[in-house]
Structure 1
Amino acid sequence: MMHTSASMVTGIVFAPLGLVLVFTAAITPQWREGQARLGMAGGKGHWMGVRSGSVESLLLLRSDGLWESCLQVEHSELKQCWPVAGPYRRDPRVRLAQGLILTSLFLCGTGIVLACIGVRCWTDIPLRGVAATGGLLVVMAGLLSLTALGVYTHNLARLGMEDPSKGIGNPRFPHLSLHPAGSLYFGWLGSCLQMLGGTALLFSFKRPRYPTCPSCPKLPVCPACRSCPKITNQPDSDAYEVTC
């Protein structure tokens, strides 16, 4: 009967969940959001298919991620997304966050594979050293993603801003009040789960202690049947077989 410690089960559950959340945060464009009201001049023009004569102003919703930016008109289906470009893409802090997140995803995936091999659900005895090594990689992945999120959050309002008075790096747009968005929260939660799962796997280095048999203190009690093992002497061999 297989004996899998609670720390292994915790790590093998939380680490993949953290990976999914960090990956979701990485591919979605809601790391920061801002909105601004664009005044409409005149009543005969059109802007993105909306008649300017029907409203006095439009509320623009802008969102940025690590690899994609989006612009949407509130209360409408008009939305346009494009790969990050311009000063925002060239900002060294954005590039640093991109590199850290990609490295974190790679390390976490590798750590999960090692943890699965170490747990060895198809055998009785897990490979504790392999599982703990996977946990170490998952912890490192969590630290890298937390660093990326911290750098981005700390500089959120200044990323891609050549001149803060010009809004989002484009003088045609009014100033946007930027704030953290949903993808950041997914990233924070996923990173914490990675740290928790990796730390749990690190406890795999510690071997569990089994109670000893009262009649033979040097021999542990079988964890499956909780009884003292019997020692049978094989007549044709000098070796001893220990069974439950």
Structure 2
Amino acid sequence: MHTPASMVMGIVFAPLGLVLVFTAAITPQWREGQARLNIGGPGSYLRSGTKGQGTGVRSGSAEALLLLRSDGLWESCLQVERSELKQCWPVSGPYKRDSRVRLVQGLMLTSLFLCGVGIILACIGVRCWTDLPLRRVAASGGILVVTAGLLSLTGLGVYTHNLRRLGADPSRGIGNPRFPQLSLNAAGSLYFGWLGSCLQVLGGTALLLSFKRPRCPACPPRQEQAVCPACRSCPELSSKTDMDVYEVSC
């Protein structure tokens, strides 16, 4: 069987898009921010213990730590720059309760489910073990994959548009020195999600082309010429019982 190029394209792009969107959904790098935390001031001592002995380093100016904060859909992380100190925890507080974050979570989960079902239908429709594919089944899988891609694109767009406002707490004002301000920016997981969603749309669109039947050559005028099985047998030739018909893939 000669598998149509549209089916090959769809069956390759759809799983690749699913992997990228899944990677984006579970990783906590949807947005990242940096903040400087003052840990000392003029005349302060920075102490570190080594085998019970403390060593003091006098600082003539303020010391600061650069904190790297990252948020995802289900997990947040905090890391000190240039160190191995990193801690992650499930999302909580105003960020978790934000209706836009919950909307994006639902859209991404629905997208993953629909894309998985669509890929299964596409694999059944291609039917590499038979001569002719189930075009309607493959195209139905393409519809689900396209829908999954559009849902994930919608979720990514909502998150990106409200990136700096998600989980904003009015009590943490600009003038409050207890809470350092974060400069939030888009992070790597968003780019994985955008790429995966675009691949889902492309793969699903390619599978949708399976609805279109291939063009077969005209019915042969002579008996020795082959007949395309997708075109069925020609009316003027089907009545002849002594004709040899050869199956040729279109």
- State the TM-score bracket (shorter-chain normalisation): 0.7 to 0.9
Question: 1:191 is paired with a residue of what secondary structure?
Answer: helix
Structure-1 separation of matches of 2:121 and 2:220: 38
TM superposition score normalised by structure 2: 0.83
* Aligned equivalent of 2:94: 87
Deviations 1:136-192 (A, max 9, x none): 00000000000000000000000000228547xx97430001000000000000000
Q: Which amino acid aligns with 1:113?
A: I
* Aligned equivalent of 2:51: none
Structure 1: any 5+ residue segments left out of the alignment? 235-239
Structure-1 separation of matches of 2:79 and 2:2: 54
Root-mean-square deviation over aligned CA pairs: 2.8
Structure-2 separation of matches of 1:32 and 1:145: 17
Does the C-alpha gap of structure 1 residues 216 and 89 become closer, same or farther in structure 2, counting only changes over 3 Å?
Answer: farther
2:144 aligned residue (137, 141, 155) = 137
- 1:180 matches 2:190: no
Structure-1 separation of matches of 2:86 and 2:123: 42
- 1:233 matches 2:241: yes
* Aligned equivalent of 2:195: 189
Deviations 1:182-212 (A, max 9, x none): 0000000000000000000000000001112
Alignment of 1:69-108 (within 5 A): 69-108=76-115
- 1:23 matches 2:22: yes
Q: Identity rate of aligned residues, in percent?
A: 74
Alignment of 1:1-244 (within 5 A): 2-41=1-40, 42-44=44-46, 53=57, 56-163=63-170, 166=173, 172-215=178-221, 221-222=227-228, 233=241, 242-244=245-247
TM superposition score normalised by structure 1: 0.85
Structure 2: any 5+ residue segments left out of the alignment? 49-54
Does the C-alpha gap of structure 1 residues 111 and 84 become closer, same or farther in structure 2, counting only changes over 3 Å?
Answer: same
Structure-2 separation of matches of 1:212 and 1:198: 31
Structure-1 separation of matches of 2:56 and 2:145: 53
